[in-house]
């Protein structure tokens, strides 16, 4: 059985990414400036809770889908930081 936790009406997995649709995240903020990573976008999502932090998210616009990485060891203070974590985790980021 998969362990989950609830954030603003959305059930998120604790040990792996959670696949959701845009419709399931209707009240959440999906960062407007994701970066291209292969055939998907490195982005971030934020629930409608002040000071909650951002989760890294792989965004698949062609499928209206989002893979939320809520299982990360931390929430991120900015969408840029969350997206960067995802880029590095998947080897899509450039070394700087």
How many percent of the chain have pLDDT more than 70?
A: 94
Domain assignment present for 15: no
Provide the number of structural domains found in the chain.
Answer: 1
Domain assignment present for 3: no
Residue with tokens 């609830």: 6
Domain assignment present for 90: yes
- Is the pLDDT assigned to residue 93 strictly greater than 60? no
* Under 8 Å between Cβ of 6 and 24: no
Residue 79: domain span: 35-96
Per-residue DSSP letter, 70: T
Q: What is the pLDDT of residue 1?
A: 55
Q: What is the pLDDT of residue 24?
A: 97
CA distance 40 to 58: 7
CA distance 1 to 4: 9
Domain assignment present for 18: no
Q: What is the pLDDT of residue 38?
A: 83
- At 51-89, the pLDDT tens digits run 999 999 999 999 999 999 999 989 999 999 999 999 998
- At 13-42, the pLDDT tens digits run 999 999 999 999 999 999 999 999 888 999
Q: What is the pLDDT of residue 91?
A: 77
56 DSSP β-pair partners? 44
Spatial CB neighbours of 72, under 8 Å, sequence gap ≥ 6: 55, 56, 85
37 DSSP β-pair partners? 40
């Amino acid at each position: 059985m998969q362990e989950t936790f609830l954030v603003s009406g959305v059930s998120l997995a604790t040990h792996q990414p959670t696949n959701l649709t845009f419709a399931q995240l209707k009240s959440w903020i999906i960062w407007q400036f994701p970066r291209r990573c292969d055939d998907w976008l490195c982005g971030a999502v934020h629930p409608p809770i002040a000071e909650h932090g951002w989760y890294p998210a792989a965004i698949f616009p062609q499928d209206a889908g989002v893979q939320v990485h809520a299982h990360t060891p931390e929430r991120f203070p900015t969408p840029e930081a969350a997206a960067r974590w995802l880029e590095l985790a998947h080897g899509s980021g450039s070394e700087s």
